[in-house]
Amino acid sequence: MDDSLSSESFLQGAKKAAHKAMDDHGRPEYDEFALHAGVAVEKLAKAALAAKNPLYIAEIRNADTMLYLGGHLQIDDDKVRTVGAKDAIVLLRKIGVLPQKDDLLIAMRNGAAHAAPDSAKAKGMISPLARTIETLLGDLGKPLDEFWERWTDAVKDAVNEQEDQVFRDVQLRMVQARHAFADRFVGLPAEVKEGALKAPQPRKEEWFVRPTEVVKDGIVVLKTSGGDCPACGGQGLLTFEPVGRTGTDTHYSANGFGCYLCNFEANGPEEMAALWKANTPPWSCQLPCRTGRRFLLKHSRHWTRKTPDPHP
C-alpha cells in the first residue's frame, strides 16, 4: 500500500493543515482558516480510521480501492479513492470515536472551498477545531503537545470552559501575535530581533512612547503611556479613561493596549481585565498629571489622581 495512505502520513498532513489554520486565524484570513481547519479534521479522521483498519479509508462503494488497500489488487495511484470528510466522520461516530454533533467544521470547509464563508462564524471555530482534534488524537494515542507544538497553550486555552470567551479570545490573539512576530525573523541572526525589541518604536521622539494627556473642554478624557507588550515584549501604548470623579479625585481605568511591533491589541475594560487576570503583562509605566508630576503604575488596572495637586 502507498505510504501516503498510512495513518502516520494522514496524521502529519493533519498537523500541517492545523498549523496553517492557526496562522490563518491570526492574520486574520477566516476563509483560509475554515478551509485548512476542515482539511485538518478530514486528514486526522482518516488517520484514526487507517490506524484501526486500512480498509476503513476506502471510498464507500469503491470496490477496487478496498481490494487495493487489502493487498489483493494493484491499481494506479490516480485511481485510488479514499473516504471523504463527511463519510469519515460518520464512520467514526458509528464506532463511538466522535460524538453525535453537527458537522460544523466540515460545513465551514466546504463553504470556504465553494463560496464565501461566514467570517464571523469561522472566527469562532477555534474551539470546535481544538476539541475535535483533541478527541481524535486521544483515540490515536498521540500527545497534544507533539501535534500542536508552539500552539499547544493557545489550544488548551481555547477549550478551557473555566474561563469566559473574552479571556480565551484575548489569550489566543496574544499567542498569534507572538508567533507572527517571531516568524518575521526566521532565518535572521538573533540580534536582528533583539534590536527590534530594544529600539523605541517607531522613534524615541514619537508621541506614544511618552506619557500623554488628552484634554477636552479643560477635562482630561484620556491618558496614555508606553508599556511592555505581553505578546512580543516590545513597546506598546496603554490608554486609560476616567471612570469616576469626585471633588478631589479622578479615577482612571485601563481601556486599551496596542503594540506597534506585533500588532497585538486589547480593547475595552473586559479585554484589559482578561490580560491582568492572566498576569501576562509585566507593565510598569508612568502616568502624567496636568501639573507635570508623575505617578508610577505597576500591575494595576486603576490609577487615581488627586485634584488639585498641592505640590506641583
CB within 8 Å of 306: residues ≥ 6 apart: 248, 249
Tell me the residue ranges of DSSP E strands in the chain. 212-216, 219-228, 235-245, 249-259, 265-267, 284-288, 294-298, 302-306
What pLDDT score was predicted for residue 303?
43
3-state secondary structure of 249: strand
pLDDT at residue 7 greater than cutoff 70: yes
pLDDT at residue 1 greater than cutoff 50: yes
Average pLDDT estimate for 82-97: 86
DSSP 8-state code for residue 246: -
* Range scoring the smallest mean pLDDT among 17-21, 94-98, 104-108, 158-162: 104-108
Please answer whether residues 106 and 93 qualify as being in contact, where contact means their C-beta atoms are separated by less than 8 angstroms.
Answer: no
Provide the mean pLDDT of the chain.
76
* Range scoring the smallest mean pLDDT among 35-39, 183-187, 208-212: 208-212
> What pLDDT digit, counting tens, does each position of 300-311 carry?
444 444 444 333
> What pLDDT digit, counting tens, does each position of 101-151 carry?
655 666 666 655 554 455 667 777 888 888 889 999 999 999 999 999 999
Phi and psi at 22, nearest 5°, equal: -65, -40
Closest C-alpha to 51, from 96, 103, 11, 106? 11
What pLDDT score was predicted for residue 141?
96
pLDDT at residue 72 greater than cutoff 50: yes
**Grid cell digits, residue 119:** 467570517
> What pLDDT digit, counting tens, does each position of 44-63 carry?
999 999 999 888 888 777 76
pLDDT at residue 255 greater than cutoff 80: yes
3-state secondary structure of 82: strand
